[in-house]
Amino acid sequence: MEYVVFDIETTGLDILNDRIIEIGALRIKDGEVIGEFNELINPGVIIPEIVTSINGITNEMVEDKNYPGVVLSQFNKFIKDVDFLIGHNAIRFDYPFLQNEFKRNGIKSNNYQTKDTLRISRIKLRRELRSYSLKTLTAYYGIINKEAHRALSDVYATYELYNKLMEK
């Protein structure tokens, strides 16, 4: 079994108008990490200060980075032929956002089955927690997320969370 755990950081929450500014991912095969993807993206628009206050990504950090089409093409190759994708709130946010960005940049991508640790945790931990945010769940399981709201750090936390949820 081969899958990719992924996370994105964006300029906002509007799938149609905001842009991806960071993609992080791990490629897993038979329970082992076999690849890592971590790229900042120059979105071609200004990153709002409120976004920078959450994830720490500044306009200066992305000004010399590749534009979306380049990074998304690389990411599309990274996820090619996996059995499924995993993310936290991926079904409602990350995956639709990613698909929209692929389309916007003329990148033909497969439709992937997506597993969502937010939904899985709500089922497996029914009524045990008030919140099922990644922050709450990592605290609940004692998972360290050193750079919360940075894509690759959130990916490692989501990967550990998925493994804990699958044990339950």
- Residue numbers annotated as active site: 149
Contact, 163 vs 90, CB < 8 A?
no
How far is the CA of 142 from the CAs of 2, 32, 93, 122, in angstroms? 26, 21, 25, 18
What residues contact 116, with CB distance under 8 A and at least 6 apart? 86, 87, 88, 89, 90, 91, 92
Count of CB atoms situated within 10 Å of the CB of 39? 20
Contact, 75 vs 23, CB < 8 A?
yes
